[in-house]
Copies of this chain bind each other. A is one copy, B any other.
Amino acid sequence: MGITKTEFFTQKQNDTALLMKALGHPARIAIIEYLMSVDACICGDIVNELALAQPTVSQHLKELKNAGLIKGNISGNAICYCIDDTAINTLRGYFLEISDNLEKKKNMCC
């Protein structure tokens, strides 16, 4: 059907999946990496950086924003986007937890 059955999963599982999904496109990875590499962060720079059309970049920025991965401040007639550390820290914690867990039961399986 193409429709995800979110009702069968926990809130946390759905939230985690949404965060990961938002990062599941190279353009959005590139945006995050670009925002990480610069101090100033204006949307126009991202459009120039990405080799995608401006509406496409705008759409990707919107998805990152909806997921809570970036935040945008209006700054004159431009918009300053930057990474939201809350989401990043959530994901950092998530993978640290899995990694620690795997470390503990090394060679217990497969």
Contacts and interface: CB of A to CB of B under 8 A. Distances in A.
Interface of A: 4-6, 8-10, 13-14, 16-18, 20-30, 32-33, 36, 39-41, 50-52, 71, 73, 80-83, 85, 88-89, 91-92, 95-96, 98-99, 101-102, 105, 108-110
Nearest to A81: B110
Nearest to A105: B39
Contacts of A29: 9, 13, 16-17, 20
Contacts of A9: 26-27, 29-30
Given A17-B29, A108-B39, A99 B80 contact: no
Contacts of A40: 109
A95 B20 CA distance: 12
B24 A17 contact: yes
Which of A13, A40, A73 has the most chain B CB within a 10 Å cutoff? A13
A1 to B, nearest CB: 10
Contacts of A51: 5, 8
A24 B67 CA distance: 12
